[in-house]
C-alpha cells in the first residue's frame, strides 16, 4: 500500500470552514497551508468591533493632542520665623 504524501482535511462548524493542506515531503509534523472561511455573520461582528476600536483610538488621540496650560507653582515659601 502506497502512503499519501499530499492530502487535505476539511473541518466545518457553524461559524467557519477550515481546509488544512498537508505535504509530508515538505513538513511531517503539521499542515503546510490552512484556509479559513468565516460565515458572513461572524465577519460582520468582527468589522463592527474593529470600527469601535478605531473610534476609541481617535477620541483618545484627539484629547491627548490638545494643549494644556500648565500653571507655575511658587515653591519658594520663604523662611518661617
What pLDDT digit, counting tens, does each position of 5-64 carry? 999 999 999 999 999 999 999 998 999 999 999 999 888 888 888 888 877 777 766 666
Q: What is the pTM of this model?
A: 0.54
Q: How buried is 3 (Cβ within 10 angstroms: 0-12 exposed, 13-18 middle, 19+ buried)?
A: exposed
Strand partners, 20: 9, 34
- In this structure, are residues 23 and 6 in contact, taking their beta carbons and an 8 Å threshold? yes
Q: For the chain, give every domain's residue range.
A: 1-48
Rounded to 5, what percent of the chain is helix, strand, coil?
30, 25, 40
Cell, residue 55: 473610534
Bridge partners, 19 (sequence order): 10, 35
Amino acid at each position: 500500500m502506497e502512503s499519501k504524501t499530499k492530502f487535505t482535511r476539511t473541518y466545518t462548524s457553524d461559524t467557519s470552514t477550515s481546509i488544512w493542506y498537508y505535504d509530508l515531503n515538505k513538513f511531517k509534523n503539521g499542515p503546510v497551508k490552512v484556509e479559513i472561511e468565516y460565515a458572513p455573520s461572524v465577519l460582520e461582528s468582527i468589522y463592527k468591533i474593529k470600527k469601535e476600536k478605531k473610534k476609541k483610538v481617535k477620541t483618545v488621540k484627539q484629547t491627548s493632542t490638545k494643549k494644556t496650560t500648565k500653571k507655575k507653582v511658587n515653591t519658594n515659601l520663604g523662611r518661617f520665623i
